């Protein structure tokens, strides 16, 4: 099978470490990371979103939020969601994004293309609808001829977890001309769901070998697996048995070493792709005991770092731990009894109920009745909010915010704009 081989700058020349440590952040997350990246020449890491198909305010406000969050970003820690944009706004600021740790959702938009030309890997740590790493849905207006026409992902070569769904995109072409299975890890069951509404334009440029993202030579699909010699267990940079990528590489490579990867399957340790970051304790074979590792590093997403400024390695503690402050530093410690914070899925379900039902409407939203004001008493146990408290509407029968009477702290790690 033919295909275009990758020719990119290796990871070791492009990437320098960002940040992490097992403690919780207490500053504005987006602003904090941009300042650190500027001062220490780290690549830009930005937080993703988990809004699904929800929108935030007007079209202009929605666009500005997306632009402020992702302008200059290279690694999205979380999900990349572009939804409900009804005009052809300028999305060129997305062209720097190379990695998304969660899922990519492009849905209910009217623009013609989305410039994610540098995106190489979708990790799928979070999945849309619990199964999809890439979802492209309903990107066309009811009336008119606007709508998504090309996927525009020429450098996407790896989806580590999750599947793909491309549904109801009236003007989208070339989706079927992608060899989707080569983006997935071989051992995983692959959910791939397509529904195209137009006659496929095609074909690909003659140099593409039958697989492409568009009609031009520069839009050939990069194949880093099917063109490999049988001796290669993963991806490759040529057809020779000596052209295999290192086992820790993701998305392809420029050479056989762990420093030649375009992205790391697990962690990037100062340019080298490794299975895990150097641990805090190492085994002393002479003394038969565990000892502190002077070269230990912490994890920030998929990056190993020696220091974690301002407790910024994790945004939330695990379910069995709670956030405490000791000596001016926030850290996660085991709960002595019932943890003061509920499970994330409980929070999200309450969040979506409020977003859609707190305002009295003249019509039913999927036949869901408006939220009863009494149910807001569930927030009486909330003592701390790590991000923001954003109230855009309020039931008429409640004349104050007493349902938040136990609230003592709003950290503001990310701010509403």
Better-scored residue on pLDDT, 215 or 328: 215
Express each pLDDT in 214-262 by its tens digit: 888 888 999 888 889 999 988 999 999 999 999 999 999 999 999 999 9
| CATH superfamily label, 44-219 | Receptor L-domain (3.80.20.20)
Q: Which ranges in the chain are annotated with CATH 3.80.20.20?
A: 44-219
Compute CA distances 242 → 158, 227, 299, 346, whole Å: 21, 13, 32, 51
For residues 370-381, give the mean pLDDT.
84
- In the DSSP assignment, the letter for residue 42 is P
What is residue 192's predicted lDDT score, i.e. its pLDDT? 62
Residue 337 is encoded by which pair of tokens? Answer: 């009894």
- Which spans in 289-387 are helix H? 344-357
Compute CA distances 368 → 54, 307, 356, 365, 372, whole Å: 16, 48, 9, 6, 12
- Alpha-carbon dihedral sign for residues 167, 169, 170, 175: negative
Q: Looking up tokens 């580590």, which residue turns up?
A: 160
The whole-chain average pLDDT of the chain stands at: 77
What is residue 11's predicted lDDT score, i.e. its pLDDT? 41
What is residue 21's predicted lDDT score, i.e. its pLDDT? 34
């Amino acid at each position: 099978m033919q295909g275009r081989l990758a020719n990119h700058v290796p990871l070791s020349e492009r990437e320098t470490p960002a940040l992490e440590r097992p403690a919780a952040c207490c500053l504005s997350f987006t602003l904090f990371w941009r300042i650190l990246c500027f001062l220490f020449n780290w690549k830009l890491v930005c937080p993703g979103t988990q809004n699904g198909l929800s929108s935030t305010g007007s079209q202009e406000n929605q666009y500005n939020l997306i632009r402020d969050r992702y302008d200059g970003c290279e690694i999205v820690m979380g999900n990349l969601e572009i939804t409900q944009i009804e005009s052809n706004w300028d999305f060129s600021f997305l062209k720097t994004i190379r990695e998304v740790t969660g899922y990519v959702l492009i849905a209910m938009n009217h623009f013609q293309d989305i410039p994610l030309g540098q995106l190489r890997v979708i990790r799928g740590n979070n999945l849309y609808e619990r199964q999809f790493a890439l979802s492209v849905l309903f990107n066309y207006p009811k009336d008119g001829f606007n709508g998504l026409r090309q996927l525009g992902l020429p450098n996407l070569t790896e989806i580590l977890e999750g599947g793909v769904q491309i549904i109801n995109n009236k003007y989208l072409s070339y989706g079927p001309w992608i060899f989707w299975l080569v983006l997935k890890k071989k051992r995983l069951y692959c959910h791939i769901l397509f529904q195209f509404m137009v006659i496929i334009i095609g074909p690909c440029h003659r140099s593409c070998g039958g697989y492409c993202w568009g009609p031009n030579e520069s839009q050939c699909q990069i194949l880093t697996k099917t063109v490999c010699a049988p001796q290669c267990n993963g991806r490759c940079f040529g057809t020779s048995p000596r052209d295999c990528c290192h086992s820790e590489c993701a998305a392809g490579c420029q050479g056989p070493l762990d420093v030649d990867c375009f992205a790391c399957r697990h962690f990037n340790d100062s340019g080298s792709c490794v299975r895990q970051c150097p641990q805090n304790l190492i085994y002393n074979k002479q003394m038969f005991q565990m000892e502190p590792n002077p070269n230990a590093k912490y994890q920030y997403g998929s990056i190993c770092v020696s220091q974690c400024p301002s407790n910024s390695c994790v945004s939330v503690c695990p379910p069995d731990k709670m956030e405490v402050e000791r000596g001016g530093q926030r850290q996660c410690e085991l709960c002595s009894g019932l943890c003061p914070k509920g499970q994330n899925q409980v929070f999200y379900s309450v969040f979506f109920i409020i977003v859609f039902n707190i305002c009295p409407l003249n019509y039913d939203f999927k036949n869901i009745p408006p939220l009863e004001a009494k149910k807001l008493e569930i927030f009486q146990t909330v003592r701390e909010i790590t991000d923001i408290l954003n109230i855009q509407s309020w039931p008429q029968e409640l004349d104050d915010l007493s349902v938040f009477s136990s609230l003592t702290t709003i950290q503001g790690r990310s701010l509403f704009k």
